[in-house]
Amino acid sequence: MSNENKQMKLGAILMETGHHVAAWRHPNAGASRVVDVKYYQEMARTAERGKLDLVFFADTLGVPNYNSFFDHNVTIRLEPLTLLASLAAVTSHIGLAATATTTYNEPFHVARMFSSLDHISGGRTGWNVVTSALADEALNFSKEYHLEHSLRYERAKEFLKVVTGLWDSWEDDAFLFDKESGHFADSSKMHVLHHRGEHFNVRGPLNISRSPQGYPVIIQAGSSEEGQNLAAQTAELVFTAQPTLERAQAFYAGLKAKVAAFGRSTNELLIMPGVFPVIGATEQEAKDKLEQLQELIHPAVGIDVLSRKLGHDISGYPLDEPLPDLPESNGDKSRNHLLIDIARKEGLTIRELYMRVAGSRGHHTVVGTPAQVADHLEEWFVKQGADGFNIMSPYLPDGLDEFVDLVVPELQRRGLFRTEYEGTMLRDHLGLSRPNNQFAREPQ
Amino acid sequence: MSNENKQMKLGAILMETGHHVAAWRHPNAGASRVVDVKYYQEMARTAERGKLDLVFFADTLGVPNYNSFFDHNVTIRLEPLTLLASLAAVTSHIGLAATATTTYNEPFHVARMFSSLDHISGGRTGWNVVTSALADEALNFSKEYHLEHSLRYERAKEFLKVVTGLWDSWEDDAFLFDKESGHFADSSKMHVLHHRGEHFNVRGPLNISRSPQGYPVIIQAGSSEEGQNLAAQTAELVFTAQPTLERAQAFYAGLKAKVAAFGRSTNELLIMPGVFPVIGATEQEAKDKLEQLQELIHPAVGIDVLSRKLGHDISGYPLDEPLPDLPESNGDKSRNHLLIDIARKEGLTIRELYMRVAGSRGHHTVVGTPAQVADHLEEWFVKQGADGFNIMSPYLPDGLDEFVDLVVPELQRRGLFRTEYEGTMLRDHLGLSRPNNQFAREPQ
């Protein structure tokens, strides 16, 4: 299978002021607009002008509780599902996706809100299924400890089964609206779930009709073994952090093989690594732009970011000595090991390591002209490292404008990206088919 | 205290196709648009054109599981919080309120979503705090039984304490956005809740800044003793069903006295009974309109509505005999007793009782010309039965258009209703002050 006749998919991750850890300090970044809905409405319209597949909002249910964290970082945001609904009202095509955790939510609420969003947006919604990497979330939900990693994935798997079951509560043609006879619905086309499982007992039915896309697009981003196995069985879009083409290719081939092993077509799951593009009129201008951002990193922030990524508070250790041995954490193990490996292999000090990861936060960094950025994306796409990319602009809104105005036209000239939307739903953009209702007695 | 120099408040309850139980069968009702966001956007704009205080969406987390219920009733709706966010995007003044239960939600989620909505809407949000009267909801949330009535209210009280505590996580001026020094926030103005209680342990802080209104407006609708006590301590707006002026006056005087007993000013809580207005060019036209709707009630629906209100499935009892003795239920006791009292006093059969309650669902019905409807509202308002009204149009969207185009101008001519909004926030419309941050060290 080759990507040579296909076009890449592109998502824009709209992380408040941008993906660089010091983004908010950039003179043009929207620091004072982080909870201003118009700021996000403007960016969603920009992404739609660029014919991007989707905009995406990551989320956590709380803030890590490091002392200095609150002073120097963007710690506030709009709640993503209410935000997506407001974006739906001012856009017509762009896909609208956000994170909701299966660890501190109830499947009935999640099924209902995403179904509602899919109706409200005319079929443009995607749900990023996460199990919560941030242990602090537990403390906001009456739990003493974060649920253990493999239990989180067991819960996630059952959660997804309940949610998709609820989404199939009603067949697509169950509602008659027959005013004459008084039949609003044909209840023989309603399917009460009666789910009884390890983690959940949920009767159903859902109190909303099946949504335009059947199911909102299922997204996942876990890179652990359990995460990949769940994705291979259930995800349609996978977000991932891959620092090099080789690692991206290995991840891509491995996950697609898992997809096939579960009896699915490899086209049913698209893989989109994150890319952190620093764009300049010249390569030097781009390099200067990144350097300007790096210089804005507050030391306290560097330590905090590294502590979060490692799952340990390392603020007590000397900055200019190598990373000490750390006990096993309950966070995202694959990511912790990746970082520790890099530090060991290259003999990095804590300071060097945080400078490395605090900027682009571990994602593939591309620094150069629009043509150079397009070259990189083309290479990863053609060489089967990716079906598309999540654009993680260094700072916003400028980074998104530059990508849409300078890189997208370059990709379009090369035939690598659409010049017009294929349809109005997110599944249309992504080339994903509409799921059948699992309970329907007749093919729909 | 008299209402003679004040103006009444008006809310529009946008119950899908309208408040009459057979509304959806009316030729002009939006039956096929019940999950079409544009239908609600149009109605919200209509309410805003009429300078109404707010639109409101009731909610339940599921559907009562009577066999015939699904065939003959509107059982689907958009999820209210995503719906409110989409309405905020297309309106500028109208208040936006919805129900969220404290029984099957987590306070962190609820605090965050309503705060987000308050930001998104520029300070126009209200939260109707309910404890869930529908026992079936339990079965969608891994519970075998509905939480017992008084336990629900204990949980609600603690839930509210947590939510308001989370809303005060940040003082109003905690965010500096100081790019030069790298100080995003002044964490000395952050207040970590560290709540430990009977029902919840919630650390905080909330990951969103204090919202434009400080707190979204707190609404409650419970009429039981526990409900009234909670409202008297915490609510700012109370929705209630009162069938006669005398009962409305008794409820009004009683609840205002409770408010004073808790040390609050009686102006801090507004009481808005529901009104079911059937409007015609002549009184006869209005009566004919109601008759047309009553004739559209399917017998199966009448039985179902009564069963829900009583908390018992009465489909097995003979229709044309008096209501039998029923065991105590776990639902809203005050409302169950009210209905049983009416049936006993007037000697009504089941059929007669369901015809009585299935139409307007127990709310005060006013049938007449715009002037007659205005007369009723004026009388209830002047005689201290109400601070304002929830307009529960028999069918939508026509009922709302008629009220806004015909009754509102009549109320305005009489000086009983605003001709222009006093401000841009819901608290401005309602004359409610902005709550201080309970944790702030200096007055704000």
Chain B contacts in chain A segment 98-157 (CB below 8 A): 104-106, 108-109, 112-113, 115-117, 119-120, 136, 139-144
B92 touching chain A per CB within 8 A: no
pLDDT score for A121: 98
The pLDDT value given to residue A356: 80
**What's the pLDDT at B66?**
60
Mean pLDDT of chain A: 92
Stronger pLDDT, A398 or B68, i.e. the higher one? A398
Mean local confidence (pLDDT), A355-361: 73
Cβ–Cβ below 8 Å for A179 and B26: yes
On whether any CB of chain A is under 8 Å from the CB of B190, the answer is yes
Plot region of A3 (φ>0 → left; ψ -120 to 50 → alpha; else → beta): alpha
Band of residue B1 on the pLDDT scale cut at 50, 70, 90: very low
The pLDDT of residue B343 is above 90:
no
Residue A37 pLDDT more than 70?
yes
pLDDT in tens, A201-247: 999 999 999 999 999 999 999 788 889 999 999 999 999 999 899 99
Query: Of residues A330 and A118, which shows the higher confidence score?
Result: A118
Question: How many residues are there in chain B?
Answer: 444
Q: Does A88 touch chain B (CB under 8 A)?
A: yes
| CB contact A197 to B (< 8 Å) | no
User: Is the predicted pLDDT of residue A71 greater than 70, yes or no?
Assistant: yes
Average pLDDT over residues B290-305: 87
* Cα separation values, B359 from B24, B207, B248, Å: 12, 44, 20
Which of A375, A358, A259 minimizes the C-alpha distance to A304? Answer: A358
Which residues pair with residue B56 across a beta bridge? B13, B97
Q: Would you say residue A144 has pLDDT above 90?
A: no
> How far is the C-alpha of B99 from the C-alpha of B80, rounded, in Å?
8
At A248-293, the pLDDT tens digits run 999 999 999 999 999 999 999 999 999 999 999 999 999 999 999 9
Over residues B173-192, mean pLDDT: 95
State the pLDDT at residue B133. Answer: 78
Number of Cβ pairs closer than 8 Å across A and B?
Answer: 232
Of the two residues A127 and A315, the one the predictor is more confident about is: A127
Checking if the pLDDT of B280 tops 90, the result is: yes
In this prediction, residues B92-118 reach a mean pLDDT of: 97
pLDDT of residue B369: 98
So what's the ipTM on this one?
Answer: 0.93
pLDDT at A344 over 90: no
**pLDDT of A1 strictly over 50:** no
| Dihedral pair phi/psi, residue A207, rounded to 5° | -90, 45
pLDDT at A138 exceeding the cut of 60: yes
3-class state of residue B183 by DSSP: strand
From residue B240, how far is each of B64, B130, B132, B297 by CA, in Å?
A: 22, 12, 15, 24
Contact at CB, A81 and B81, closer than 8 angstroms: yes
pLDDT band at A305 (very low <50, low <70, confident <90, very high): confident
pLDDT (0 to 100) of residue A134: 80
Q: What is the mean pLDDT of residues B386-407?
A: 98
B363 and B376 Cβ atoms separated by less than 8 Å: no
Residues 6+ apart with CB under 8 A from A206: A108, A111, A112, A115, A166, A167, A169, A170
Token pair listed for A64: 């890590």
Shortest Cα–Cα distance, B365 to chain A (Å): 24
The confidence score (pLDDT) of residue B344 equals: 86
Q: Do A76 and B170 touch (CB under 8 A)?
A: yes
Instruction: Output the pLDDT for position A330.
Output: 59
Report whether pLDDT(B4) > 60.
no
Give tens-digit pLDDT for A41-56: 999 999 999 999 999 9
pLDDT at res. B360 = 64
The whole-number pLDDT of residue A443 equals 61
Asked whether the bond before A277 is cis by omega within 30 degrees of 0, the reply is no
Residue B281 has pLDDT above 70, yes or no: yes
The yes-or-no verdict on residue A424 having pLDDT over 90 is yes
Contact flag B190-A70 (C-beta cutoff 8 Å): yes
Angle at B105 between CA B100 and CA B111, to 5 degrees: 70
Using one digit for the tens of pLDDT, what is the confidence trace for B237-273? 999 999 899 999 999 999 999 999 999 999 999 999 9
CB contact under 8 A, A71 and B186: yes
- Read off the pLDDT band of B94 (50, 70, 90): very high
State the pLDDT at residue B3.
54
Residue A372's pLDDT is what?
98
B 209-228 near A (Cβ less than 8 A): 209
| Percent of all residues in chain B with a pLDDT value above 70, rounded to a whole number | 95
Q: What pLDDT is stored for residue A5 in this prediction?
A: 65
CA distance linking residue B176 with residue B415, whole number of Å: 45
Q: Name the more confident of A37 and B339.
A: A37
Q: pLDDT at position A274, please?
A: 95
Band of residue B332 on the pLDDT scale cut at 50, 70, 90: low
Q: What is the mean pLDDT of residues A131-150?
A: 88
CB contact under 8 A, B79 and A116: yes
| Structural domains in chain A plus CATH codes | 9-280+362-430 (3.20.20.30)
How many other CB atoms sit within 10 Å of the CB of residue A316? Answer: 8
The CA distance from B69 to the nearest CA of chain A, in Å, is 9
Q: What is the pLDDT of residues A169-206, one digit of tens each?
A: 999 999 999 999 999 999 999 999 999 999 999 999 99
Residue-wise pLDDT tens digits, B409-435: 999 999 999 999 999 999 999 999 999
Under the banding of pLDDT at 50, 70 and 90, the label for residue B361 is: low
Cβ-based neighbour number of residue B196 at 10 Å: 10
Distance separating alpha carbons of residues B302 and B69, to the nearest angstrom: 10
Q: What's the confidence (pLDDT) of residue A333?
A: 65
Q: Does B81 touch chain A (CB under 8 A)?
A: yes
A422 phi, psi to nearest 5 deg:
-75, -25
